[in-house]
Chains A and B, each alone.
Chain A
């Protein structure tokens, strides 16, 4: 019900919302939970295991019970805590984990079965017959388990990421955080004040204490107004700092638009902030913990502080009569506040025999709540009085206070381990906190308002002092300074179930069973019973559970310890963590210089690492990609083709020692390469395995251009810089990656030279004599455009690679095509490139897979033993040089029209298809239009001794088994006459 006055809600505006298929009214400032309570709705959810009816236990982000599915379609958000959903007009939420309805849930049958469904019962049964687990037991369990559901539609909203830097990050805008912000903000430091709530002020908004001469919430509002004027201070409401990472970096999520029906145009739903801090002050407050007693989970039973918050902040009472059950003085505040707001308090039950009295209600000192009633909501409680008598009390709400736990989570994200403090019966921050972090206020165990204000100011000043910034501590306003008076009391003894973890339905009995079965370490307790593993990660339950375990083992709570606090502090949407790196923007897309031209030609593209490359260029009438690729290969081999090879890595190597340097990088010799010549080079890793291959062109005595494969461009450059800086730091050599600086085209085919002669400026002679195979030169083309020309061939044809500065790349491809019309110049894509290199027997990525050696590749003799090059020594190890080592071979099917599957394994005919007979595997396969046959490359044990043998390429995976003949890998022009023509 809604109280007639009070609350930080805008009563002048009414908004409508829908829950469980009914419309209700609320006000701006409400949460879904407060608005439902104001409408007399206490039942908001069902528990995980027993499907018990539940209402909110808390009024904040620690809520285990009141979880709903918010919104619908792609925006459906399961497990959303009604206690933090900011009400907006038109909000729709549905109950979850209940069928057919929230008030009648068929799976509540589990509650009747609870004697069987104890902690860990499933480890002891469902084992027979074995096959029934997947088919019967598990599907039933899975359907019953889970909480909310997602639709599988894509999330339509955007998420942003951002970086923030500050001197001081203050986490939590309660009294200590506000005072800290005031201190640091006035001192001129760069300050961020972040709070998870949409209304800053922390508990001040939920309390009735005065600060100075005004209500605490008014003081908070006034302080925030001043802070908002400070240009050096950033206020971040709706922002949860969820993790403390290394070196002062904090992760935070700002809920930018969650309080609106949909994000406004151009706004994200949420923003992930990475906050780089010099110092951090944790002012995260404390969370109240319940007491376990029989049937303590009915809707209407909540923490005393939640009850107080609903009444004070939202003017919402769960019922017209309430009671309070406490073991500490703070519970008395709840009773007093309820009375002050006109809510009838039936009784104040205090476990302490010496509890102080209170005006306006009956104090039952030394009493305990031993039972409750009410199927879908609390109707009454049974109290055992100090004298042993029991009394039944009618009430629709019960506030429970078992004391407060400082919110230490962030202090433990690195090496901090909290320590037990008997004086407040709680864990407080201890051990190695994240470097740069200090703690103030209730989070530190300082529970009075005065201590929070004073601590916030002092700790902020101290943090700034560390940074060399002098801060004047503001005058402290007057505030209550009541001592913490608590007598620890964890659970009421009895036979009935008493809940510790409300969401996961872990009761005191379960902890006892865990103890009985030896699961006594806190981590065993957690894992065996699921205590603290729910969506609230044990914020309300862990303390009670480990206290019960301590009682059972006879150890102290300090000895028992806590489980690990891990990020995130509260759950974080995956969308926020991913930001905009989704869909087509998952990773950057690199386009080649000819991309736009290729697109105009109707090319199909393929992802090659980050690059998009033209795969083939279909023409009208071609029915399959094979038609296209076959044509491209034939045209290239018959006349001339052109292919964009810009993606190959290019590294410029300069300096007096450039040749000596490359001589150590490549396993084959480079010292004597003449200027104007190119050489094929093979790089090994230091472990002797082939790393990458490519060419190095010597443009001048002290200048080389190295090419790498597309895939390894980055790794090779890194490797060469390592060698340059770390291994041979005094060599006179400089490296720069020029992959993006040059557009490069392969021009291949018998007419390649004729075509090139139309492009190259007349001053340069590229005749076969003047510019033979493996020549290179810097020259100009098209009337003065600077260019580099390399006579190298991947296709096996007379071929060149022509490079121009990238900005001319688009113009060059158009010019090549125009000048080549008379030769029928044909653009070809990566597929035809692949076919031609297989026909020629060149190794590529499938062969250079990081597992093969020069020996495997048929280049064993290239590894020079005359010099010290990277990888040479370890390439000589016995295991890499066995007589049956794999060798690269060519493979031809006995029937030319039967495909050889890449990835097939090679076996002798007539053997069983088992690993014992495995002789090797097929690496690359294609249809060769030149040979009118399928062909393949592969690695075969002692392959060089098996030429002409008939084997089979078996691919049981694809149901193929192809008789093949072992041949040389050089299918086309093995003598290399074409490329020298």
Chain B
């Protein structure tokens, strides 16, 4: 069924009787060519592109709970490609380009809204660093603009320009950045994959991998053994737990990141802003809630919840930047588990086990990467070669000394 305004009107006039489930609820088949473990954004996108781009149709996505329930369902919805390093920027720019055509491509309105993202600058050294970054973006075909404090003030007159501990000295803007309705991304990919024959198996938990003679033959699940030509794991947040079942240790720690939403407000924030001297970034959803976040709690955790000090820290950052926030009320706080990798960058690669492939280590930047991650992982699964924009995301890069460390914090995941 194709979605359109016409279709909505027609259904409205006929009592909405024509709508069908957005994805089927099939029983598992005994064998698939490719099994994707993890029905989050990345897993669903991988399945979608496997079917749409690489003509793989005997594909299943297996999910232990409900699809879209991982970090695609609990993030702060920002998309951007404002990265610094060669290993990252081409990939994230590829992702942003995919976002730009996504809705028409999968016929689902995920509300991709290119409202712009602005990283604020508070010191000369920061301006130098952001200049380098902005130039790297442009060299990679992305858009970037360096704004003066006056220019920032024109768009965001209510920020703290007069009385701030760390005055705003400008900003690095990416106008093509913005926000997306996060849940709809999972649903749109699920719908697109399902229509192309992919089986989406909810409430199906992986309990182990069947590995013989160094080759992965399939997955043991709560709904029985499922044989697979290839198995791709995309379960960021829980990567270590799943890959331990295949006997692997990863360069990853799991950490909790909290995110927040305020009560609904009439439009006040036009785009996404990021405080450069504290932990606070914010956008406003179409429903009116301010969606914001800050730093990870900083300790290993698999609990999808955080603690009060980080909530306070984020509120402090918010108030320091935007003193009018005082009477806005925080409506809801939640937590997601991040695969924090050792250099802050992701991994999309083969594993030492034949037929087992890994996608993870997204830290808290996985949402914006969803389309490219899916595409590149599909590319790897279908062709056994790394996608040209994702050649740096190798598992052995730490052995080889080829880290992709945007923040320069080294092998301490909670600092990335």
Contacts and interface: CB of A to CB of B under 8 A. Distances in A.
A and B are interacting partners: yes
A127 B104 contact: yes
B277 to A, nearest CB: 8
A100 interface: no
B91 to A, nearest CB: 12
B144 A957 contact: yes
A915 B136 contact: yes
Contacts of B163: 154, 583-584
Contact of B90 (A246, A846, A881, A915): A915
Interface residues of A, number: 124
Contacts of A535: 263-264, 329, 331
B324 A150 contact: yes
Given A578-B315, A905-B135, A955-B135, A77 B265 contact: no
A48 B264 contact: yes
B54 interface: no
Interface in A750-804: none
Interface in A884-939: 901-905, 913-915, 918, 921-925
Interface stretch (B216-224, B230-238, B358-366, B400-408): B400-408
Given A125-B8, A152-B157, A575-B327, A607 B109 contact: no
A6 interface: no
A138 interface: yes
Interface stretch (B19-27, B41-49, B377-385): B19-27
Contact of B320 (A125, A130, A586): A586
Given A116-B9, A519-B22, A878-B400, A138 B113 contact: yes
Interface residues of B, number: 121
B410 A573 contact: no
A976 interface: no
Output the residue of B22, B130, B286, B326 with the most chain A CB within 10 A. Answer: B326
Contacts of A689: 405, 408, 410
Contacts of B265: 78-79, 146-150
B12 A115 contact: yes
A582 to B, nearest CB: 4
Output the residue of B12, B284, B303 with the most chain A CB within 10 A. Answer: B12
Contacts of A623: none
A880 B398 CA distance: 11
Output the residue of A155, A586, A958 with the most chain B CB within 10 A. Answer: A586
Interface stretch (B30-38, B121-129, B204-212): B121-129
A600 interface: no
A245 B307 contact: yes
B319 A685 contact: no
A355 to B, nearest CB: 35
A33 B4 CA distance: 43
Contact of B323 (A246, A516, A583, A904): A583
Interface stretch (A169-177, A564-572, A638-646, A670-678): A564-572
Interface in A848-885: 849-851, 874, 877-881
A518 B303 contact: no
A915 B88 CA distance: 12
Interface stretch (A365-373, A520-528, A655-663): A520-528
Nearest to A938: B132
Contacts of A190: none
A845 interface: yes
Nearest to A272: B312
Interface in B71-119: 73, 86, 89-90, 100-101, 103-104, 107-115
A581 interface: yes
B315 A923 contact: no
A128 B311 CA distance: 40
Given A123-B109, A133-B112, A586-B320, A78 B401 contact: no
Contacts of A243: 308, 333
Contacts of B145: 957
Contacts of A957: 131, 134-135, 138, 144-146
Contacts of B320: 578, 581-583, 586
A130 B104 contact: yes
A685 B410 contact: yes
B184 interface: yes
B399 interface: yes
A596 B86 CA distance: 46
Output the residue of B129, B278, B327 with the most chain A CB within 10 A. Answer: B327
A115 B13 contact: yes
Interface in A99-155: 115-116, 118, 121-128, 130, 133-134, 138, 141-143, 145-155
B397 interface: yes
Given A146-B265, A523-B73, A957-B131, A687 B410 contact: yes
Contact of A152 (B89, B112, B158, B403): B158
B267 interface: yes
A919 to B, nearest CB: 11
Contacts of B410: 685-687, 689, 691, 850
B136 to A, nearest CB: 7
B248 interface: no
A255 to B, nearest CB: 12
A413 interface: yes
Interface string B150-189: 0000000110100111110000000000000101100110
A687 B330 contact: no
Contact of A513 (B16, B167, B278): B16
A249 interface: yes
A712 to B, nearest CB: 11
A574 B401 contact: no
A142 B104 contact: no
Contacts of A66: none
Given A527-B73, A851-B408, A518 B267 contact: no
A146 B124 CA distance: 38
Interface in B262-309: 262-268, 277-278, 284, 286-288, 303, 305, 307-308
A606 B122 CA distance: 10
A587 interface: yes
A154 B308 contact: no
A233 B357 CA distance: 60
A221 interface: no
B312 A578 contact: yes
A346 B19 CA distance: 43
Given A116-B12, A915-B86, A918-B86, A249 B308 contact: yes
Given A687-B411, A846-B125, A582 B323 contact: yes
Contacts of A272: 312
B405 A851 contact: yes
Contact of B165 (A585, A606, A849, A921): A585
B326 A573 contact: yes
Nearest to A512: B16
B132 A903 contact: yes
Nearest to A902: B128
Contacts of A151: 324
A79 B263 contact: yes
A608 B101 CA distance: 43
B165 A584 contact: yes
Interface in A213-244: 243
21 contacts: A116-B9, A121-B8, A126-B5, A134-B115, A142-B284, A146-B265, A147-B266, A154-B160, A161-B312, A573-B330, A574-B330, A578-B318, A579-B312, A579-B316, A586-B277, A586-B319, A845-B125, A902-B132, A914-B141, A915-B140, A957-B138
Given A125-B8, A519-B22, A575-B326, 5 more contacts: A573-B330, A574-B319, A686-B411, A850-B408, A879-B397
Interface of B: 3-5, 7-9, 12-13, 16, 19-23, 25, 65-66, 68-69, 73, 86, 89-90, 100-101, 103-104, 107-115, 122-125, 127-136, 138-141, 144-146, 157-158, 160, 163-167, 181, 183-184, 187-188, 202, 262-268, 277-278, 284, 286-288, 303, 305, 307-308, 311-312, 314-320, 323-334, 397, 399-403, 405, 407-411
By Cβ-Cβ distance, the 5 closest A-B pairs, closest first, are A850-B408, A903-B131, A155-B326, A877-B401, A146-B288
